[in-house]
Each structure stands twice: as C-alpha cells, then as structure tokens.
Structure 1
Amino acid sequence: MTKTLNAIVNARLAGKEGLHSLTINNGLFTEIQPQTSPVSATDHELDACENLVTSPFVEPHIHLDATLTAGEPRWNESGTLFEGIECWSERKALLSESDVTSRATQTLKLLAAHGVQYVRTHVDTTDPQLTALKAMVKVREQTANFIDLQIVAFPQEGIWSFPNGRELMEEAVRIGADVIGGIPHFEFTRDYGAESVRWLVELAHKNDLLVDVHCDEIDDPESRFLEVLAAEALRLDYGTRVTASHTCAMGSYNDAYCSRLFRLLKKSNIRFLSMPTESLHLQGRFDSYPKRRGITRVPELLDAGLKVAFGQDSIRDPWYPMGNGNMLRTLDVGLHACHMLGMNRIERCLELITDNGAAALNLKNYGIAPGQPARCAVLQGQNAYEVLLGQHPVLASVRDGNVLVQRAAVNPEADLLIT
C-alpha cells in the first residue's frame, strides 16, 4: 500500500549546510526549513536519516524496445555497433506488441527501483508496421503513475537510406512520438546524413517537438554531423530543445577543429548526452593500439557552460549485454573514463544524472523547491562523494508525495564475520 507523506525530515540538500525538513501538501513541496537538530519522524513523515536528498534520477537515453533481448536471435560477438544493428534487425522481425510491452514495462520497473522517475526512450521507426512505437505509446500511459516517459521516433537504419524513412517518421509523430531522432552517420552518404539532420529538425520545429539525434556515434574524425545539428538549432533558435547523443567522434577531432566547433556549440546552446558504459564497449573496435574509447569531450563541454548528462543507452540488448538500471554505476564509469575524479568534479557529479538530464528532456517542473512536485530520491551518503563511493541503491523514491520505493540502508561492514 502506498504511503502518502506530509514531510521529509532530517534531509541533507546539495548546496545547503546542515539538516532540513521538506513540507509536502497535495503532492507539492510547500516549504523547506533548516533543522537545528535531528527530529523523530511521525507516521506521515519520511526520515532521511541525515542522508542526501536529490531530485529523482533521469535516464535520458535508453532503447526500451530492445532491452532484455541480448542473445536473441544471436549474440553480438564482434562487439561493434554495426553487428548490433544487424542483430537487432533480425530480432525486430519477431516483435509483437505484447513482447515490447512486457520487456519495456519490466525495464521501467527496474529503473524506478533505482530512483529513476524520468526516462527518454528511442524507439525504432525502421519497421513498416511501427510495432514497437505503437506499443510504447501504450506503455507510456500504463506506467505514468511511476515514470514520466518521452518517446523518440528513432530511425535505426536511417531516414534517407531506409525505404519510406521520412513517411515512417511522420507517421510516428501522428501516433504520438514526443521527440524526433536521427542517425546521420549511418546514412549511406555524407550528403544523406546532412540532409536527414536538416529535415528532422524542421519536422520537430513544425510539430513543436523536441530533437534527440544519435550524432557521430563512431570513431571516424571525419564524421561531423554535430556541426550541422548545432547550426540548424541556432538557425531556428531551438537549442534548448535539441540534444546531441553520443558525439563519440568528438573524441577523435583535432583541437583546431574543436576550437571552431565549440564556438558554434556555445551559440546554439544544445544539450549533450554521453553513454559511457556502452561507448567504452562499442567504440575503438577498429583500432589496434592505442585504442580510442569513444567518449565525447564531457569535461570540456561542461567547462564551456553546456549541459551534459549521462545515460545507460542499453540494458541487455544486441549492443550491450550488461546493465542493471543503477544510474550510479553509469555515473561512476563516466567519471573514470572522462578523467573527472577531481573533488571539484565529484562535488557536482550528481548533476550528470539529475539536473542536466532534466535539461535535455526540457522538463519544466523539476527540482526540490516550494511549488514543485514532491518528487525526490533519498540516497545513501551525506554528500555526493559518499554516495559515489557506496553506489548503493536509493533508500527511498518519492513521487508526488507518495513513497514508491523504500529500503533499509546497506552497511557492508556489518556483514563482516571476522573481528
């Protein structure tokens, strides 16, 4: 039975000293007050036990239509993006509405158990029946009590390079997609890729939708569709509604080109998503040594004042056989891969799986403040450093004043049998 709260007490908040209480009324935060000392929680209060309370985690980039299909019909033995697409093309032919609905719902419950309340999923539109997209629209409705779900119309095999690719994207909009996607580096030619980017941004702009493009997910330093995407966003003054996912090729760009590129990126103010665990697995497959690892320039983008968030991308699918829904695992890997373990980075690292993801999803009612929906996660640790060290599942997840998840704290030392 769901527990409804009127307050969270003994909470630590990022950027604030000491303990605080968060008053909740009608599903909204109404007041945030400092506490002089810990207090006992009543029946309708949640005791944060002096742990850090943050906004809910955001999973900004995942493929729910493909989750939990690893090894079906075969394993991706090369570990490349391209064999993954081939495997998925074979599995896609076996899709049914019940198959997609069951796996997507199971995955969303897994994410919710880890404190995620906002998810953006890319759904393949290179299926003439649009089976997965139609199923995901129903999943979005059925899971709305615990997840806010955005659906990206994602042309896995291209827009220009797939038969009726444009028509299928337009149909996806009519069915109910929230976001327009693309994959220009997978189109047959450079011209096709650039044309597809311009077309998809116009489609989104015309329909007042968001944009999220798989952009330059390749080690090739000549793959430069990011500049096309940013230029289109700037032209239409649409930057805060446009996201570039992956941008792996940026890790291979020369610094002279990046200097010019960053001028455009800052002017456009587009958002960036990096999927560190998957990029480390898929990229660098065509290198001998030294091997590139395919991670975009995360610290440089952040230092330029741009919003960057981490996502998981896949959970046990043809591209990535691992994944457990824990955003703290993704965060930890990303910080290691991007050389971001300086304390100045760690102190703000949770923004990469909360606020910056919310910016990419263009969320309007997000954050712990009076008047905002009472949605938050109670983490295990008093600050970001302690949370990252433990990487324990969230102690609680609260949505509109109702407790979705609550579990006991983990204390590994208590299980030690030797003294």
Structure 2
Amino acid sequence: MKKKFINATIYKHDHASEILVEDGKFVAIGNNVGEADETIDLQGRLVLPPYVDSHLHLDYYFTGQDDKIKNESGTLFEAIDLWNDYKKGTTKEEMKERIRRAVHDVASYGTQFIRAQTDCTDPNLTGIKAALEVRDELKDNITIQVVAFPQNGMYSYNEEGKSGRDLVEEALQLGADCVGGIPHNEWSSEEGKESVKEIVRLAIKYNKLIDVHCDETDDVQSRFVEILNAEVMKQGYGKSTTASHTCSFGSVDDSYAFRMMGLFRKSGINFVACPTENLFLQGRQDTYPKRRGLTRVKEFVDHDINVAFGQDSIVDLWYPAGSGNLMNILDNGLHATQLMREQDFPRNFDLITYNGAKLMQIEDRYGLDEGKPANFIVLDAPNPFEAQRRRVECLASIRNGEYLFHKKSPAYETELDINRQTK
C-alpha cells in the first residue's frame, strides 16, 4: 500500500512538499511524487526525522518520588551514593516496568531512538538484563542502545568479589551495545585514567561503541576527555566514541579548549550535552558568578564537532523534573548555549535528530532519504524557526510508515471582543 503525505514542510528538503511511502520505506521525497492508495494532507506542517535522545537513564525513572530517600544537597555525588543503596533488592520485573513506563513517556513526545545509560554496578546486573529485554521487546517501535554504565566506578566499586570493570565486561557479553564509564568518580585520577584505557580496550575487544560520563564536574582539573580523545585517536576509534556531559570543559581556559577542539576534530569524537540536568546540578559550590555547567556546545557547532542533546533524567535522584520532551531540552539548550543566531535556527533541530543518529551510528537507517525506513514526526509549525520559537507539540510519530500516535491540532479561540465590559 502506498501512502502520500502532501503539503509538508520537510526539514532539509527546502523545495520538496510531498513524501511517498511504500512497504514501510521512503519511496520518493519531492513534488508530484506519484499516485498513492492514501493521501494525507499535512497542511503545511513541519516534518522532521524522529527525535533521538542521546543520553537517558531509563532505569532511574521516577525514583526521585520515593519519600524514603532525598537528595538534600542536590549534588551529583550525593545522588550516586543514594542510588547505590536504593537499587539493592530491586527485581528485574520492577526494573522492566520502570523502563517500559519511561520509554512510553518519551515516545509520546516523538522520540523513536534512545541511548539508554544503564547502571551495571550490581552483582546481578538487574538493570542491564531488564534493559536488554525491553530493548528487544520494543524494537519494532523504538530503537534502544544499552550502555553498560558503571555508575559507581570501574575500580572504586567492588562487591561480592566483582569490580565495576568486571561487570561492564559481563554486560557486554550479555549484549549491551556500548561501553560506559565515569572516570571522574573513581577514587583517584590514576584510577580514572586507567578506567578510560580499559573502556577503549573493552570496546575494541567486543566491537562496541563507547559512551563515557566524562568530567561531569566543575573541577577544571578534571580533564579525562583529553585522555579519552588521545586513546581513541591512537586506535582510530573516535567516530565510535561519545563523551557525555564534559561540564568542566566549559570552565577551562580558552587556550587549552581551542587546542583540544583541534584534536577533537582530528579524532572525530562525539559529544552529548544535557542542558536541563547540568544547569540544575552544576555550580552548587559556586557563589557568584555561578557556573551553569554546560560544555562548549556553540563552539562545537561552529567547529564541526558532532554534538547532540539528551534529557538525561526524568524525576530521579539527580533531577526532580523532566518529561522526555526533547523540544523542551532543545529550547533550554538553545538559550543556555546562545544558539540563536540567524544561521542557527535552520539547523538547530540537528541537535536532537541527525547528530544523535550520527553518534549512535544508525545513519544508514535514519533520516529523510529515499530508500530508508519511513520514520518521521510531524510538528505543529510551518517551519523550523516557528517550531523553535513557539516550542510546538509533536502531532504525529510515524514508524515504518505507520502511526505510533496521531494527535489533533490544538484549536484556540482567536476572536476578542474589545468592547466587552468586565464587572
């Protein structure tokens, strides 16, 4: 069955207004694309590839509403300590239910691709096993990459005779897609460096992608991104590597930063920033001026260094809010990083679409191109600028040519009787 979507504004297809879909794939994108069995009039609305959440902790979803534990300081490190106790005793079925609810939540806003940071510092690997099962159960509608993430450290964690490093490897053997790490949470800088080297070694051994929580701190001496970049550059593994957060890189001096950006371009390493979460978590020990904890997103964009945005958390011990709506993440990120120049608006949606697909290495099956799976979303706006300016809703999410959901466009009363008297 052929479906034709007409009267569309198509992202990065400036002179096209029609999409033809058959057997779950894009057959043609252009004008006068041919006959179809069904025609859907999009009435000038914006078509994007689906949202990509490049960094999300599905296994932590809504743990922040448990009255038994509270992050009183609001800091990253207290949250890590609280989670270490909270997760003990959680069953796989409980974890699966939490992950499913999280996926349903974010998918309702138009996300179809998720990189799920999943804690593996648990001797039973409960979260990893749950995430892998949900990944496979939902694969027809949602693409999930599972990161084996040692939240408590590869070397600073050791329980029941298993180190965090051992558990990362076990998770990879079970089928996790990416090697994770958190070098700034190891007990010493030497162990942090060793963890980075081991991350790269494991990734090459098991042919996995890399995604490291890197320098998520205000400490300008935390420069593990430099070590990570050097290690993957030596191995030619930069394009398969993502450095998430890199908050301290936003505080380092310019001479160091610009030297490093040249090396980042040389390696091809990717970056993820989490605007809302790091705005909330960082700068806790600052008075004023208070740092806001974001890496140099604008400079990455200007220097053609791949960078994407992620939600990070939804109502957990690290972050008390969040919904999974990447339009909100984009809006906060654009304000915080000042990406509102004339040249920015036409490309800003890359931060929650194409750039995330690039670091997930799914470009062969992602995007608005003929022959690729017909996965796309429809926003309630006539163009990218209006969509960003008004933070519009996602009206439809289409997967392999079929609706995951379809909402009615909001209707508002626009007439105002200026002569009406109010008592």
Give the TM-score of the pair, scaled to structure 2.
Answer: 0.94
Matched, 1:52 2:46: yes
For 2:13 and 2:58, locate their aligned partners in 1 and report how far apart those are by CA, in whole Å.
36
Closer, same or farther in 2 for the Cα pair 1:312/1:20, shift >3 Å? same
Contact 1:28 1:373 in 2 (8 A): yes
| 1:98 equivalenced with 2:97 (yes/no) | no
Q: Secondary structure at the match of 2:74?
A: coil
Q: CA deviation at 1:403?
A: 0.8
**Aligned-pair CA distance for 1:55:** 0.5
Aligned pair 1:133/2:128, yes or no? yes
Deviations 1:387-416 (A, max 9, x none): 1122232111110011111011124x4278
In 2: Cα distance, 1:190 partner to 1:416 partner: 64
Cα displacement (A) at 1:418: 6.1
The alpha-carbon deviation at position 28 of structure 1 amounts to: 0.6
Alignment map for 1:389-408 (pairs within 5 Å): 389-408=389-408
* Equivalent of residue 115 in structure 2, options 116, 120, 131: 120
Instruction: Give the corresponding residue for 1:358.
Output: 357
Partner-residue secondary structure (3-state), 1:232: helix
SS at match of 1:344: coil
Partners of 2:99 and 2:134 within 8 A in 1? yes
Equivalent residue number for residue 55 of structure 2: 61
Residue 191 of structure 1 and its aligned partner are, at CA, apart by 0.6
Contact kept, 8 Å, 1:279 with 1:294, in 2: the verdict is yes
Partner residue, 1:378: 378
Could you say which residue in structure 2 is the equivalent of 1:334?
333
- CA shift in 2, pair 1:84/1:43, >3 Å: farther
Q: How far, CA to CA, are the matches of 1:19 and 1:121 in structure 2? A: 34
Q: Matches of 2:171 and 2:352 in 1, distance apart?
A: 28
Instruction: Tell me how far apart the structure 2 counterparts of residues 417 and 98 of structure 1 sit (CA, whole Å).
Output: 54
Matched residues in 1 for 2:152 and 2:416: separation? 54
What is the match of residue 171 of structure 2?
172
Match of 2:230 in 1: 231
Give the partner amino acid of 1:57. Answer: Y
1:264 shift after superposition: 1.2
Query: Which residue identity lines up with residue 3 of structure 2 in the other structure?
Result: N
**Deviation for aligned residue 1:20:** 1.5
TM-score under structure 1 length normalisation? 0.95
Number of residues of Structure 1 aligned to a counterpart in Structure 2:
412
C-alpha separation between the residues in 2 aligned to 1:130 and 1:156? Answer: 12
1:292, 1:92 → 2: CA distance?
A: 31
By how many angstroms is 1:155 displaced?
A: 0.3
Does structure 1 retain, via aligned residues, the 8 Å contact 2:8–2:18? yes
Partner of 1:248: 247
Matches within 5 A, 1:7-406: 7-18=4-15, 20-34=17-31, 44-72=38-66, 73-163=68-158, 164-363=163-362, 364-406=364-406
CA distance in 2, matches of 1:135, 1:61: 18
Is residue 159–residue 196 contact of structure 1 (8 Å, CA) maintained in 2?
yes
Contact 1:18-1:35 within 8 A present in 2 as well: no
From the superposition, tell whether residues 56 and 338 of structure 1 become closer, same or farther in structure 2 (CA, over 3 Å): same
For the aligned residue pairs, the C-alpha RMSD in angstroms reads 1.8
Q: Counterpart of 1:302 in structure 2: which amino acid? A: V
Question: Mean Cα displacement is larger for which, 70-79 or 289-298?
Answer: 70-79
Q: Aligned letter for 2:371?
A: G
Q: Is the 8 A contact 2:238 2:269 kept in 1?
A: yes
Check whether the contact 1:335–1:341 (CA below 8 A) recurs between aligned residues: yes
Letter in 2 for 1:26: D
Alpha carbons 2:244, 2:271 under 8 Å: kept: yes
Question: How far is 1:46 from its partner?
Answer: 2.8
Secondary structure of the residue aligned to 2:17 is strand
**Equivalent residue letter for 1:356:** N
Aligned partner of 1:69: which letter?
Answer: T
- The structural deviation recorded for 1:45 is 3.1
* Partner SS, residue 403 of structure 1: strand
Residues 203-261 of structure 1: CA deviation (Å, up to 9, x unaligned): 01111100000000001000000011111111111111100000000111001111221
> Aligned letter for 1:33?
G
In 1, the alpha carbon distance for the partners of 2:59 and 2:262 equals 36
- Identity rate, percent: 42
Aligned to 2:421: none
**Kept in 2: contact 1:19–1:50 (CA 8 A):** no
- How far did residue 47 of structure 1 move? 2.3
Gaps of 5+ in 1: none
With over 3 angstroms needed to count, the CA separation of the structure-2 counterparts of 1:390 and 1:259, relative to structure 1, is closer
In structure 2, how many angstroms separate the alpha carbons of the residues matched to 1:354 and 1:165?
A: 32
Whether the aligned pair in 1 keeps the contact of 2:183 and 2:192 (CA below 8 Å) is yes
Contact 1:22 1:33 in 2 (8 A): yes
Contact 2:381 2:392 in 1 (8 A): no
Cα pair 2:4 2:18 within 8 Å, conserved: yes
- State how far apart, in whole Å, the 2-side matches of 1:75 and 1:49 are: 48
Question: Structure 2: how far apart are the matches of 1:33 and 1:222?
Answer: 51
Q: What SS does the corresponding residue of 1:345 show, helix, strand or coil?
A: coil
Question: Which residue identity lines up with residue 50 of structure 1 in the other structure?
Answer: G
Deviation track 1:321-348 (CA, whole Å, cap 9, x = no partner) reads 1111110000000000011122211221
Provide the C-alpha distance between the structure 2 equivalents of 1:235 and 1:114, rounded to a whole number of angstroms: 40
Partners of 1:305 and 1:107 lie apart in 2 by 32
**Cα displacement (A) at 1:137:** 0.9
